Amino acid sequence: MESIPLAAQELSTEDLKALRRAKHELESPALTMKLASIVGAPLEKLLAKMPAIASEKVNDATQAALRKCLQIALRTLGRNNGGEAIAAPDKPSNLLHKFAVATTGAAGGAFGLFALPVELPVTTTLMFRSICDIARSEGEDLSSVDTQLQCLTVLGMGGASKADDDADLGYFIVRGALAQAVSRATSEITTKGVTAHGSAALLRLLNAIAARFSVQVSEQIAAKSIPAIGAVLGAMVNTVFIDHFQQVAHGHFTVRRLERHYGQPAVESAYKAIDVSLDG
């Protein structure tokens, strides 16, 4: 029987189980492996076969998608999404969002790379709404600037960026790398209001998220680049895509919920002490 490390003894049994689930979700197999299991082909080879113009299209579409999500976040500033919803949060509507994203994936599967500029902003917006829904279910106040930017950063936590050089980075390292940019952007928006949407701090945060998110988008597009992939497989690829980020969101906002109760040092120590490889 696995002994409970001292770092984890501060957490209740129920919260320790929640943290273990969160680590499972945050350390789950990479999107590359999940997509490869669906399309039945190594994504590295598919990525190599993508036309050179695809990279530029992915970057442009990624930036547009993130800006769309940011606009949604800024429009909700000042609304009271907390209160009773936080006191007794309902479960998130994950299946509803998956169905919506599968629908856009079906269209993308039919039109391929040409559909990217239209499909990705829609798909990413739906994923962002799902992430916000998950945050709310974990007791986050969606009227908070920090919470909304945290929802946006989930899109940057789903995998490595090209600058990571394939390093095996843990959750707290990735989160820490984005934390300073989130803090500065939050401060500017709080001080200047929605007029800060073009601020340097916010643009730096978007660029940092885009650098990581575009890698995941490239893998998604590569999986759809198989000739005659069709609407069905396109829907499946999109479903895997959103499921991946829903898992990351559940893990991230579970950790944040526990940190509000126990403090970050205790939760981080307990998280690092958990060995998910011992689980079945």
Q: Return averaged pLDDT per consecutive 10 residues of the chain, 280 residues in all.
A: 51 95 90 80 74 74 86 63 48 81 63 66 88 93 90 84 57 91 88 68 89 87 68 80 93 96 94 78
**Confidence at residue 234, expressed as pLDDT on a 0 to 100 scale:** 76
Sign of the CA dihedral 171, 177, 183, 188?
negative
**Confidence at residue 2, expressed as pLDDT on a 0 to 100 scale:** 47
**Confidence at residue 250, expressed as pLDDT on a 0 to 100 scale:** 96
- With beta carbons less than 8 A apart as the criterion, state whether 131 and 151 touch: yes
- With beta carbons less than 8 A apart as the criterion, state whether 77 and 207 touch: no
* Burial of 227 (C-beta count, 10 Å sphere; 0-12/13-18/19+): exposed
Structure tokens at 22: 């969160």
Residues listed for the chain? 280
**Confidence at residue 56, expressed as pLDDT on a 0 to 100 scale:** 76
**pTM value?**
0.82
Structure tokens at 254: 């579970």
Q: How many other C-beta atoms can be found within 10 angstroms of the C-beta atom of residue 168?
A: 8
**Confidence at residue 152, expressed as pLDDT on a 0 to 100 scale:** 92
